[in-house]
Amino acid sequence: MLRFVHVLPALALAPSAFGATLIASHFSGGVYTLSLAGTNTSGTLSITSQTTGCGATPAWIQYYGDTRKLYCFDETWNPPGVLAEYSVGNDGRLTLTGKAKTAGNTVYGRLYGGADGRGFVATAEYTPSTVTTYKMPLSGNSASQTLKFTMAQRGPNPRQDVPHPHEVQVDPTGQYILTPDLGADLVRIFKIDANSGNLTACSEGKADPGDGPRHIEFWKSSSGLQKAYTVNELGNSVSAWDVTYPSDASGCLSLNKTQTLSTYAPGEKGGPTTKAAELRLVGNFLYATNRADETFGSQQDSIAIYTIDPTTGAITWLEAANSYSYYPRTFQFNKDGTLLAVGGQTSSNVAIVARDPATGKLGKLVANIQVAQKGEAGQEDGLSAVVWVE
């Protein structure tokens, strides 16, 4: 697949020293602490510790800096699975502090509800077509609610055989959980009972047939305009949504899709095996990863970058950047937005990439390390997630 690719010049940033800690999970069962040292133009990554406890197939990790707790979610296809809680030490070492059994095939999880937004955990189970909630603290079998989804007929994509919830995202107010459903072409919306943790279904946001929404993020303009953005795995696209909150406590949040753009430059498209994966927002910039496009050469996939209009929330294609990885399933920016950590699933590497906060553009590779064994293209193996410890 031939593409015309814009090559970035070196970012015009003065070198500054840094030290940072990251945590990465691997589909083979390990959870790794990484140390990053150097400057914003050249650095080194090293593995400083390794642990287990998140079952056979850790698929996703979420870190909460205020409590220094890490939550890990097991995608095992041979239940029971595991939901694990770790305390993160000052040196980045992980200590297992809680564990619960799950039904397996969990692909994402997020804390919500209670007095502090940490009273419960919600998880998405891809193949069972469920969202499950757990009461904190985690215990042997603390599941409290399971929501099962069905659909009347298959979707236009062969993978849309049944509903496939792929994420549980908490809205900025903490009152709702949103679940992009890749199988049903919906963004499911649930109202949270903060005291009980129970979720009540609202009307869904409707994606286009065959989009396959996977992840969602929220954005707010300086004037108060609320938007959300989804990355659509099957459609290789991103969508913008108007977000409307109810005028009284009895109502529900609602979504209305306003725009969809490809994760490739205008006039280009992905190949038969390409799959969009995740999206992130930093200020008025939107980023989405593409898997298996090899835009930048053999096993070098791209990250799509868009600008967000600060007044309307409309998105505009900016350019494609090198992810320095193959099958970039996961990525996260550091707090000051100067560095990006990319988790290449099949390449099983963590790549640290420079970012210019003014232009939003990504630049050179700052540091890189392989974590455990590489995966096979299209399989659920290799590196699964990476987060900054900040």
| pLDDT at residue number 70 | 98
**Other residues' Cβ atoms within 10 Å of the Cβ of residue 137:** 12
| pLDDT at residue number 141 | 80
Q: What is the pTM of this model?
A: 0.95
Q: Give me the residues paired with residue 169 across strands.
A: 178
| pLDDT at residue number 384 | 98
Question: How many helices (H) and strands (E) in the chain?
Answer: 0, 29
| pLDDT at residue number 14 | 52
CATH for 108-381, options being 3.30.300.30, 3.40.50.12780, 2.130.10.10, 2.102.10.10: 2.130.10.10
Distance CA 302, CA 121 (A): 32
Residues in the chain: 390
Ranges of residues in the chain whose predicted pLDDT is under 50: 1-13
Distance CA 162, CA 264 (A): 28
Domain boundaries, the chain: 108-381
Distance CA 34, CA 334 (A): 14
| pLDDT at residue number 41 | 86
| pLDDT at residue number 40 | 79
| pLDDT at residue number 12 | 42
Please answer whether residues 235 and 159 qualify as being in contact, where contact means their C-beta atoms are separated by less than 8 angstroms: no
Concatenating the DSSP letter of every residue in 291-316 gives ES--TTSTT--EEEEEEE-TTT--EE
Both structure tokens of 291: 């898997």
Give the closest residue to 132 by CA, choosing from 112, 115, 151.
112
Give the closest residue to 180 by CA, choosing from 165, 193, 198.
165
| Angle made by CA atoms 339, 344, 349, in degrees to the nearest 5 | 80
Give the closest residue to 179 by CA, choosing from 154, 155, 213, 210.
213
Q: Is 104 left (phi over 0), alpha (psi -120 to 50) or beta?
A: left
